[in-house]
Structure 1
Amino acid sequence: MLILALLLSCSVRAQERENVRLSTTWRAAEVEGRTLWVSEQSVALRTDARTELQVGWQRFVAKGKVRTNRFSTTARWYGVERLLQVEGERQVKFSWRRLEGGEGVADVAEGLFTYVAPRVETAELVVLQNGQGATQGYRLSYSRTRAGTERAETFGLALYTAGVSVGRALVTLEGAVYADRHRGDAVYRSVFTVEAALPVGRNLQARLGGAFAPKGFPSAGTPVEGLTAFTVYRPGSLVESWRDRSAGYLNLQVVLAR
């Protein structure tokens, strides 16, 4: 609530500087009969030249091969991004994000099961180098998941290239590896993403892309952590299959910047 209040209090100043960004995102997947649907709305407000406050809301619905089996949950998240250093074409940024999940509900043949809402905190350090025609960089991240009595940690390293011009689109490519640790065991998982940003109107942009995780997504550190954080409970294949087996999704994001 504190972050939301700060966002509201800064909205007038941000609008005057045209630094308000509203976005709606849809993510969808069907892998080996498993389906996933995610909707997300978010607001970002730049309070000064170096600081941006963010808040968002998500809804997840996962279904198994038997379509009557489903897992659903909601989440809200808030965070802050701070530009720490600028040296010529090089930038260093730090961001912090907290996701507060809602109660997870699994409706399966064995009955109706509920799971205590998880909490995920993520800190990221991003280093960018602007070059001719593109921006290259890397991101270091650390996520901590708390769900009931369960605890998990996720360390991430991502390399990416952004702003590659392909026709009217600007393309971003990213490859990341995560060390996912729960109950003392560490599992390494890689995630590859691609996104193309297209202008579709005045101050309006559409972003089309997707992500693929050959060995499944980590419990935290990705846009679907509101679902995968529940894997620490070992709640069954409706959720665990997105972490333990090959998975991916397509996404469409509409962004309005004012």
Structure 2
Amino acid sequence: MSHYPAPLRLDLLSPPTFWRCEPSWSWVSRPLPDHLLWCVLDGRGSMELAGERRELHPGVCAVFAPGDAPRATHDPRRRLLVFGMHFKVDRSGVVPDPRWGEVMDRELLGVLARTSDASYRRQDPLGRRQAELCLEQVLGLVWDAVHNPGRSATDTAVDEVARQLRQDPGHDWTVAEMAHRAALSRAQFTRRFVAQLGMSPAQYLIQCRIDRAHELLTETGLTVTQTAAALGYTDVPYFSRQYKQRTGRSPSQDR
């Protein structure tokens, strides 16, 4: 039997806050008594911690641990706009090393920051919980930015094609169409797809179709034949063989 760890427990110690740093602003922190999320939404500056230096610009986020004593300055002509909050957590593993990374999806970062702020300021239990959930999401983005840096536009394009396959597996996909959507040659697309997803585009599409077939068979009134047709199969026995190979069961067993 699998045992999953208990959910992470985060508690806010300060309201989610935005601040536009004053022109003469600089930060020389005393050792922090708690954890601190610190995200740059606008402006330019620099930060130092334990002898390491990081240039600051939109998307750069830091998660500090108790005892950290960061220092920062900014360009008064391009004043920093920062979002952050103090919090405590019931276990280790949320503070990356190094402390900072660049979140590439700045739109999502901004949405989470605004949602956290608005929810908390409703001053009700659900609003506070929503703010904590937004904090968890941002911490996940920062952790990923630190440990999986340097994702290119091509990586994002390949991920987007994979997402489209999952969303619409019944479409008559070809590798040529997938490559065109990612603005890559067929050979380049296939190489990048295998590197990122661990299987060929064709095999990934089959898996997407079988996953969706399982949902249709178990959650709707579609027959095996109707399910196969909905997912682009004209040969029902072939669909059934693929389904059993991937799930260990026949489609009729899951219906």
TM-score > 0.5, shorter chain as reference: no
| Structure with higher strand content | 1
TM-score of the pair, normalised by structure 2: 0.22
| Structure with higher helix content | 2
When Rg is computed on C-alpha atoms for both structures, the one with the higher figure is: 2
